[in-house]
Structure 1
Amino acid sequence: MFDVTAMANDKLVNYLKENKISSAIRVSVMQGGCSGSALGLSLDEAKPQDESFQIDDVTFVIDKHLLEQCGSISIEYIEAGSRSGFTISSANPLPMAGGGCSSGSCGSGGCRH
């Protein structure tokens, strides 16, 4: 239901230790503009409506309702040079998914004078 690869967990453990952070890592829906919503990571504290997962020295929290909607969630770290980073995927489509661009945005010519 909730999986974190060893490399992803190691990267998070190192980050938290190097920065002397004791906060939990929240998995939540982040608005992604034209590319739509995506799951993301942030520092946060657990709330009553959260499900918590302890993996080694890292505590992950996610809203129980979001977890039910997403089904299983997987966090990976991909090594790709300057494009390295975390990827968070879910078994089901994200709630509120879809493009965030409007016809009046600058990218579609809406900011011309």
Structure 2
Amino acid sequence: MNVNLTQSASDALKKILAAKESDKPVRLYVAGFGCSGPSFGLAFDDKKEDDLEANANEIDFIMQTELFEQYGDFTIEYVDEDARKGFILTPSVQPESGCSSCGGSCAV
């Protein structure tokens, strides 16, 4: 498992870690699903038995083995422009998405 961080993502995560005074690793997880596919999130969490570990820019990350097997490595970016502010998690294996029309009749 590899996690690639942009410099802005590394700086933002280190700021958050310092403010939280947390020594827990950062978990990558599926935050939800929509017509355009899964959305991914970050959270501080304890390592569990089935987790994989990685370190990027002196930040520890964890991820369920199943998530890695499905989506591969991740790149994490941080944006802070106009109305957009936050982390963008991009898996190396692009997830399948729905129709993106949001007509409400997607067959899942």
Q: Same fold (TM over 0.5)?
A: yes
Counterpart check, 1:50 vs 2:51: yes
Deviation at 1:23, TM superposition (A): 1.5
Query: Structure 1 stretches of 5 or more lacking a match?
Result: 105-113
Deviation at 1:53, TM superposition (A): 1.1
How does the TM-score come out when normalised to structure 1? 0.73
Question: CA distance change for structure 1 residues 82 and 19 in 2, over 3 Å: closer, same or farther?
Answer: farther
Query: Structure 2 stretches of 5 or more lacking a match?
Result: none
In 1, the alpha carbon distance for the partners of 2:62 and 2:6 equals 16
Alignment RMSD (CA, Å)? 2.4
What corresponds to 1:69 in structure 2?
A: 70
Q: Which has the higher helix share?
A: 1
What letter is aligned with 1:23? Answer: K
Identity across matched positions, percent: 28
What corresponds to 1:111 in structure 2?
A: none
Question: CA distance change for structure 1 residues 102 and 25 in 2, over 3 Å: closer, same or farther?
Answer: farther
Pairs aligned (count): 102
Give the structure with higher Rg (CA). Answer: 1
